[in-house]
């Protein structure tokens, strides 16, 4: 949980001037692309967004095996990945013997569009993990601690707190670690629908995945006469078009007032990899007719 102390603004930042690192048009274009899919930036207003763009610094990580963050160090920067893969190692015991260079065990790999290094800045804690480049041609965008805390952090806290309870109840996500659910929370957007509104329309291309937070929705195939499924709190839908790059296989329509947590295609691919097997298995579970939507309660 968030300590009161970690929420205090940094004491030395009374007359803070945000850093400005000038960028070429080419750099700016790459930077905009790199942060476009990243949750934390998407809910910033124009001014804050511009301020963060100015403050970000490009950092080239040309080769594999370069340490970007060392577990136990003080936090200085938050990083967004433009290109390259980065491995996360955790040494739970602090033992020098554990794993390569005493870095402990590899717990995750993060790729383009992903980010890391937020925990130490959010909680005023030592670095929780070691982060090492895993490929050539890595490019990072680094945001200094003060700008992160002043501009991006409240957003991250709010979303992680707001979604923590709900995501913990979603059966699909129960095998994930709390940290993995926190990263999903960052990427979610709350959307509301009124009774009768289409959340998803059959035949259209798919660009998002949905978790149902409250209310009920019904899936229909071939027009609204043929209900195939009803969804309630904690259920998910919209995965098929994203998993298989196919048009929407059904329409999903709000039955009453519905609130969904929406996850865009990039976030879906980046964050739900570990449960892809579960989604695919559930598609066909216990059905004779292999109806691709029959992984949840069938409307009778």
For ligand 1OR, give the closer residue by CB, 50 or 109: 109
Structure tokens at 70: 């060392």
Site stretch for ligand 1OR (CB under 6 A), options 27-35, 176-184, 231-239, 287-295: 176-184
Within 118-147, which residues bind ligand 1OR (CB under 6 A)? 118-120, 127-129, 131
d(CA 74, CA 68): 13
In the complex with ligand 1OR, the residue whose CB is nearer, 119 or 279, is: 119
CB of 126 to ligand 1OR, least distance (A): 7
33 three-class SS: helix
Q: What is the number of other CB atoms lying within 10 angstroms of the CB of residue 280?
A: 15
Assess 281 for contact with ligand 1OR (CB under 6 A). no
By the rule CB under 6 A, 235 interacts with ligand 1OR: no
Find all residues with CB under 8 Å of 281, minimum gap 6, and list them. none
177 binds ligand 1OR per the rule CB under 6 A: yes
Tokens for 153?
């952090």
Strand, helix or coil at 257? coil
108 is a site residue for ligand 1OR (CB under 6 A) = yes
CB atoms under 10 Å from CB of 127, counted, come to 19
What is the footprint of ligand 1OR within residues 22-81 (CB under 6 A)? 69, 75
Residue that is written with structure tokens 């978790």 in the block: 211
Q: Taking a C-beta distance cutoff of 8 angstroms, is the pair 144, 77 a contact?
A: yes
Taking residues 184 to 223 in sequence order and writing x for each that binds ligand 1OR by CB under 6 A, - otherwise, the string is ----------------------------------------
> Phi and psi for 185 in degrees, rounded to 5?
-55, -40
CB of 129 to ligand 1OR, least distance (A): 4
Q: Considering the rule CB under 6 A, would residue 87 count as an interface residue with ligand 1OR?
A: no
Question: What token pair was written down for 224?
Answer: 């609204």
Footprint on this chain of ligand 1OR (rule: CB under 6 A): 69, 75, 88, 90, 107-108, 116-120, 127-129, 131, 177, 179-180
């Amino acid at each position: 949980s968030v300590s009161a102390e970690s929420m205090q603004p940094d004491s030395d930042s009374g007359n803070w001037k945000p850093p400005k690192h000038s960028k070429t048009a080419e750099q700016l274009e790459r930077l905009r692309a790199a942060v476009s899919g990243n949750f934390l930036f998407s809910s910033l207003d124009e001014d804050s967004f511009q301020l963060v763009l100015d403050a970000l610094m490009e950092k080239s990580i040309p080769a594999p095996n370069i340490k970007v963050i060392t577990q136990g160090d003080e936090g200085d920067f938050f990083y967004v990945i433009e290109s390259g893969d980065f491995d996360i190692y955790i040494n739970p015991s602090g033992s020098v013997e554990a794993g390569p260079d005493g870095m402990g065990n590899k717990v995750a790999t993060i790729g383009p569009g992903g980010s890391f290094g937020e925990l130490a800045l959010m909680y005023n804690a030592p670095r929780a993990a070691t982060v090492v480049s895993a490929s050539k041609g890595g490019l990072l965008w680094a945001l200094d601690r003060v700008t992160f805390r002043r501009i991006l952090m409240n957003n991250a806290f709010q979303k992680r707190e707001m979604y923590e309870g709900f995501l913990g109840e979603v059966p699909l996500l129960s095998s994930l670690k709390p940290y993995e659910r926190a990263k999903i929370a960052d990427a979610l957007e709350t959307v509301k629908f009124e009774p009768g509104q289409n959340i998803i329309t059959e035949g259209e291309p798919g660009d998002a995945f949905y978790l149902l937070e409250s209310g009920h929705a019904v899936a229909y195939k071939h027009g609204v006469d043929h209900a195939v499924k009803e969804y309630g709190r904690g259920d998910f839908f919209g995965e098929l078009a994203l998993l298989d790059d196919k048009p929407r296989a059904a329409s999903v329509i709000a039955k009453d007032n519905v609130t969904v947590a929406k996850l865009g295609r990039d976030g879906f691919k980046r964050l739900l990899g570990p449960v892809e097997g579960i989604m695919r298995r559930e598609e066909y579970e216990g059905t004779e007719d292999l109806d691709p939507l029959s992984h949840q309660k069938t409307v009778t």
